[in-house]
């Protein structure tokens, strides 16, 4: 058994899930290898916020059948930290991998404030991330609880934080600014930060490779639709605008999040609209942030956080526009389509119509066949390709990371040479972090040529 310390563990604390992947570094100096890391195992814990949580574990080896677990309900997983402990126990018992070989643990940290690069966790960076927790109430605290668990269960590995916000540092100042007193905005850092950045960076690279088009020529409208959902306008490979804002609450609705509302709504919703507080004396206060982050979205409209269930019960074949007034699943579906179209329309204009592709990603974007079909039909009037029914239905079944689901008459493109395709991308934030880690000379000086 190898004892080389050359493994990278990537941990992605989403709002409702924990996704973990373990990689080894590809042969050093092998520039032909498409990725600088090789996947050894993956694990995911979903439905953390809608128990029982479901645990999956998959080892990539010739004989992995004995160690595989698929969607096993685990009652004792109640939060991200217990989810991570369950993973570590399974790793110990099911996989013959020596934990001491893990050199780095990459943590997806959703809010990084003004950090533009990954940072190694030490007392100072830990406290900085902790201070930002109020700006990502469903995420930063969960990521910190996993970082703590790693420090105690994997003491030989170094933890590094990778930030969702970093990708959006290219958003122009006037786009990131809110129309409020600029002195207060500057003092308090009140601006659009944007999230899902690790996913967007992965997607830009994957689409560039798939379309064989350099990143700095790529214009995309990407829809990352998961428990949290956002849209991003990407110009020449960089974020131009995105739908989430100061916090991951703004923009599209999500599993338990309202998305954009008139900010005054909250004062009419409840007269106890205080802020979320960590002070136990105030624990009974139903804060505005709690209502909008945890008690809204699909859960509040339909009772389920699972968009797959919403699609199956939305009676999408019924063309009656009134159906949404008595079918809550249809209401959720129609409302989501409406909000997604708001962003596509606006980003299409911001990109002057020069768009290479609309990309669907995230759990809903990758699995929601009907959502893709209905949105794509509405995009034909602005020049996007018709989607191919069977390519759309099979997108989740093929191995490819990027699947073109549009009917594309070969060589056809608009006056700017852009083909306006519709793509599905199996995004992978864990791989994005591991890749960035493996290529970083600060972490692997001996691995660089
Ligand atoms: N068959 C399906 N069709 C549409 N959406 C689905 C399906 N299965 C799962 N989903 C949605 O995918 C979401 C999870 O997406 P994911 O991107 O993995 O979430 P997270 O934000 O936790 O990372 C679930 O909350 C569920 O709503
Ligand atoms: C930023 C965000 O909402 O992330 P997730 O969708 O993983 O919860
Ligand atoms: Mg996610």
DSSP 121-179: --HHHHHHHHHGGGGSTTTHHHHHHHHHHHHHH-TTSEEEEEEGGGGGGGS-HHHHB-S
Residues 290 and 152 in one domain: no
Q: Mean pLDDT across the chain, nearest whole number?
A: 91
Q: What does the alpha-carbon distance between residue 4 and residue 98 come to, in Å, rounded to a whole number?
A: 10
Residues 222 and 183 in one domain: no
Residues 189 and 222 in one domain: no
Whether 285 shows a pLDDT value over 80: the answer reads no
Q: Which of 302, 263, 299, 270 is nearest to 285 (CA)?
A: 270
136-176: pLDDT as tens digits: 989 999 999 999 999 999 999 999 999 999 999 999 999 99
- Give 150 Cα–ligand 3 centroid separation in angstroms: 20
* Total structural domains within the chain: 2
Residues 266 and 129 in one domain: no
Instruction: Specify the CATH number for the domain of residue 414.
Output: 3.30.420.40
Residue at 179 is within a domain: yes
Residue at 121 is within a domain: yes
Q: What does the alpha-carbon distance between residue 37 and residue 6 come to, in Å, rounded to a whole number?
A: 10
Pocket of ligand 1 (CB under 6 A): 14-17, 226-228, 255, 305-308, 311, 362-364, 367-368
pTM for this entry: 0.94
Residues 64 and 11 in one domain: yes
- Give 16 Cα–ligand 1 centroid separation in angstroms: 9
Residue at 440 is within a domain: no
Annotated binding site for Mg(2+): 12, 429
Q: Which tokens hold the place of 370?
A: 């009907």
The residue range of the domain holding 35 is 7-193
- Residue after which a domain boundary falls, among 159, 193, 227: 193
Residue at 40 is within a domain: yes
Residue at 435 is within a domain: no
pLDDT of residue 415: 60
Residues 172 and 129 in one domain: yes
CB 202 within 8 A of CB 164: no
Residues 96 and 230 in one domain: no
pLDDT of residue 284: 39
ipTM of the complex: 0.98
Atom of ligand 2 at shortest range from CA of 14: 7
Residue at 199 is within a domain: no
């Amino acid at each position: 058994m190898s004892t080389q310390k050359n493994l990278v563990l990537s941990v992605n604390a989403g709002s409702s899930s924990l996704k973990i992947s373990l990689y080894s570094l590809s042969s050093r100096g092998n520039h032909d290898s498409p990725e600088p890391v090789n996947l050894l195992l993956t694990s995911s814990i979903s439905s953390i916020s809608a128990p029982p949580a479901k645990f999956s574990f998959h080892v990539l080896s010739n004989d992995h059948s004995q160690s595989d677990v698929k969607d096993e309900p685990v009652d004792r997983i109640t939060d991200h930290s217990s989810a991570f402990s369950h993973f570590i126990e399974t790793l110990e018992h099911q996989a013959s991998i020596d934990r001491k070989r893990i050199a780095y643990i990459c943590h997806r940290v959703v809010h990084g404030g003004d950090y533009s690069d990954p940072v190694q966790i030490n007392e100072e960076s830990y406290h900085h991330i902790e201070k930002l927790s109020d700006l990502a109430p469903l995420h930063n605290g969960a990521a910190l609880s996993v970082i703590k668990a790693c420090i105690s269960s994997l003491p030989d590995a170094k933890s590094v934080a990778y930030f969702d916000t970093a990708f959006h540092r290219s958003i122009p100042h006037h786009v990131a600014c809110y129309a409020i007193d600029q002195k207060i905005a500057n003092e308090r850092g009140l601006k659009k930060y944007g999230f899902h950045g690790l996913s967007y960076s992965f997607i830009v690279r994957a689409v560039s490779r798939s379309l064989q088009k350099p990143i700095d020529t790529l214009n995309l409208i990407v829809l990352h639709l998961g428990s949290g959902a956002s849209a991003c306008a990407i110009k020449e490979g960089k974020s131009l605008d995105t739908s989430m804002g100061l916090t991951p609450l703004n923009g599209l609705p999500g599993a338990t999040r309202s998305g954009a509302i008139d900010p005054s709504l909250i004062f009419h919703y409840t007269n106890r609209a205080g802020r979320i507080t960590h002070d136990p004396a105030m624990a009974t206060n139903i804060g505005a942030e709690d209502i909008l982050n945890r008690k809204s979205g699909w859960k509040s409209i339909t009772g389920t956080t699972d968009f797959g269930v919403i699609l199956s019960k939305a009676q999408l074949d019924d063309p009656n526009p009134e159906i949404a007034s008595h079918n809550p699943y249809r209401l959720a579906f129609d409302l989501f389509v409406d909000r997604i179209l708001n962003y596509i329309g606006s980003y299409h204009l911001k990109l002057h119509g020069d768009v290479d592709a609309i990309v669907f990603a995230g759990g809903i974007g990758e699995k929601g066949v009907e959502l893709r079909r209905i949105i794509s039909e509405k995009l034909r009037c602005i020049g996007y390709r018709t989607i191919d029914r069977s390519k759309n239905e099979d997108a989740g079944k093929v191995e490819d990371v990027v699947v073109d689901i549009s009917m594309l008459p070969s060589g056809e493109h608009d006056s700017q040479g852009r083909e306006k395709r519709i793509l599905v991308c199996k995004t992978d934030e864990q791989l994005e972090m591991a890749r960035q880690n493996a290529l970083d000379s600060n972490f692997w000086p001996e691995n660089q040529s």
